[in-house]
Structure 1
Amino acid sequence: MRVGGGGRHPLGTLGDMHAPSAFPSAFVVGEALVDIVVDGDSTVEHPGGSPMNVAYGLARLGVTTTLRTQIAQDQRGRALEEHLAPVGVVLDPASRSAEHTSTAVATIQPDRHAEYEFDIEWAPGELALPDGVGLVHTGSIASALRPGSDDVAALFAESRPRALLSFDPNVRPGVTPDREAVLATVDALASVVHVLKLSDEDAAWLHPGLLLDEVVDRYLEAGATLVAVTRGAEGVLVATATDRLSLPSQPVDVVDTIGAGDSFMSGLLFAILSRGLADGVRSGVLGRGDLEAVAATALASARVTVSRAGANPPTPDELAAALG
């Protein structure tokens, strides 16, 4: 099976990028939960949740990152905090407000993809952007499940003049099955954000019958300045108003796909920040070479993750090796 980055790109090593101390800081809003992974007769618990995975991936790559989520002060909540601490994710103190820590049962199928069943609490209340933040990201359940999704939408509308905004719908029909309601939420956020990433499965569920290029056109016209559609083994379609690229994959032995899309997302955002491209993305001015470079970095990040169990994104050295 082929998953991940490849094709021609101007990246050699991460040495071309800016020093980590120069990165804008990130504020990630959304669910943190425990993945209960069922693989045959084995059951193992892992930290999970799409926004939390993105926060972890960014911090692991050297981006100062704060996470605003909703967990309980229970055993699973403490396990999530212990997971985040070593990479330096700062947990917003208001995150410790849930009655119980959310869970997702991920059952590995014979083709090694995961199917999910969720027990989620998401009602964070009023959200405020911390001072000095250069990137705000959200996605998945946090962007679609009320009442918290309304708080997220308000935060993003308020933050657009101040930061680069990123969104990954990462739809979960098992949690929010009303497609029209989810589509309305996605469309509303897509009109505010700069970076929109979705999978081909997301696109098929949200827009049945539309070609991927038509989905990309829809969101560029809505106001997003960079749209990426991941295509699993086929690579990625990535576009701005002026350029559109299809980057192929490279071979990798897949252990499972848990967290692959989140690792793509954190790799994409890391590449934008580390190359000093945030202002260019916000203004819609991004050269073709830079577009190819950030997409290649994102694909390489996902490729590392699928090569091992669970949502385990790369370190800087691992990402450099994957790009090498």
Structure 2
Amino acid sequence: MPTRHITPDYDGGPLITVIGESLMDIIDDPRRGTCSRQAHPGGSPLNVAVGTARLGLPTSLVTHYGDDAYGLMIEKHLQSNGVVPVRGGDASTSTATATLGRDGAATYAFDITWDLNGAALPALAAVEASIHVHTGSIAAILSPGDAAVRSLIDAARSHATVSFDPNCRPGISPDVAAARDRVEAFVAASDIVKASDEDLSRLYPDRTPEESLAAWLELGPAVVALTRGAHGPVLLNRQGRVELPGETVNVADTVGAGDSFMAALISGLSQSDLLGAAARPRLVALTSADLRSLAGYANRAAAITCSRPGANPPGMVELGALAPPLPV
């Protein structure tokens, strides 16, 4: 795969647009005693946007947050990481409370509003200026904003590649059948799809995550990825399957690990000149060696994030550039 270098002084508009929720992650970690609760900007799409920006890709985030203290924290976080916000809606900032278990794994409770009202034109402008658009999580499921997200994805398809991560939250979408239908529609509209084993077990409890991943591949994406925590990722395309073990790391927590994986996957594809509608034929033709290289790159990004508290994805200095494809 040829290498493409994106420089920090790129001035052609946002190269990547991420569409989705911003919220405050309130992390409750009983292991910390009296200082157990901490608040950090979060949300899966926000985390992906920060991840791609830290990896050198000019990034915009079409999102919602309020004119309140939490919203100000989110805006400062985006600006400090070089993410350009495109903000709609007029409700207060959403929150997600993550309670950590002894192993660092998180369970969530949400107070969420998702609406892009008032941002239709700047959101469309951001999408039209981008060669890749990513979405997923609550933004693809929760009304009234979900319809706007789908319209933006449809507008992107003619010129941009699309990625999707369902990042399922039962507390947001308890109707599994409805969530499954909505997710499959986004899968069919995407070129790259990533899901966790937990996502796929929730959506398809009667089959294995890998069986569900293979079924998604038949809906149209070029590449589908499965993350399995410490067991490592699996990537599939029409040429084959690649599986890697999880990297050994001292886990602080797992918050944002999947988002870092997704951001690094997008970065790896960008470095290989595989983003944008014109790249679709080459994206479909990736070899197993290409998939292995991409999987390893994204796997390292997730491991770095797990090694420190909160959703804190690596930058290019830490992660480095994508290595050449490894032999199978």
TM-score when normalising by structure 1: 0.90
For residue 110 of structure 1, the aligned residue among 97, 102, 119 is 102
Post-superposition offset of 1:98: 2.7
Partner of 2:47: 53
Post-superposition offset of 1:17: 4.2
Post-superposition offset of 1:119: 0.6
Partner of 2:297: 297
Q: Distance in 2 between matches of 1:312 and 1:115?
A: 18
Post-superposition offset of 1:294: 1.1
SS at 1:266 equivalent = helix
Partner of 2:326: none
For residue 282 of structure 1, the aligned residue among 280, 301, 304 is 280
Deviation beyond 6 Å, 4+ runs, structure 1: none
1:91-102 correspondence to structure 2 within 5 Å: 91-92=85-86, 95=87, 97-102=89-94
Q: Distance in 1 between matches of 2:279 and 2:27?
A: 37
Change (3 A) 1:242 1:129: farther
- Larger deviation: 214-223 or 252-261? 214-223
1:304-319 correspondence to structure 2 within 5 Å: 304-319=304-319
Contact 1:27 1:129 in 2 (8 A): no
Partner of 2:64: 70
Deviations 1:127-182 (A, max 9, x none): 52523310100110001111111111121122111101000000000111110111
Q: Which amino acid aligns with 2:189?
A: V
Deviations 1:230-262 (A, max 9, x none): 011110110111121111122100000000010
The answer on 1:265 being equivalent to 2:262 is: yes
Partner of 1:122: 114
Partner of 2:19: 29
SS at 2:131 equivalent = strand
- Larger deviation: 275-284 or 296-305? 275-284
Post-superposition offset of 1:183: 0.3
1:1-324 correspondence to structure 2 within 5 Å: 17-21=3-7, 25-40=15-30, 41=33, 42-92=36-86, 95=87, 97-125=89-117, 126=120, 127-130=123-126, 131-278=128-275, 282-283=280-281, 284-320=284-320
Q: Which amino acid aligns with 1:289?
A: A
Q: Which amino acid aligns with 1:107?
A: T
Post-superposition offset of 1:86: 1.8
Contact 2:273 2:279 in 1 (8 A): no
Post-superposition offset of 1:112: 1.2
Deviations 1:88-123 (A, max 9, x none): 10111xx15332001001111122101110111101
Q: Distance in 2 between matches of 1:37 and 1:132?
A: 35
SS at 1:158 equivalent = helix
Post-superposition offset of 1:322: 11
Contact 1:129 1:159 in 2 (8 A): no
SS at 1:293 equivalent = helix
Q: Which structure would you say has the larger RCO, counting Cα contacts within 8 Å and 6 or more residues apart?
A: 1
RMSD between aligned residues: 2.1
Provide structure 2 residue ranges, at least 5 long, that are not aligned to the other structure. Answer: 324-328
Deviations 1:51-72 (A, max 9, x none): 0000000001110000110011
TM-score when normalising by structure 2: 0.89
Q: Which amino acid aligns with 2:135?
A: T
Q: Distance in 1 between matches of 2:279 and 2:108?
A: 33
Deviations 1:8-35 (A, max 9, x none): xx9xxxxx84322379810010000000
Provide structure 1 residue ranges, at least 5 long, that are not aligned to the other structure. Answer: 1-9, 11-15
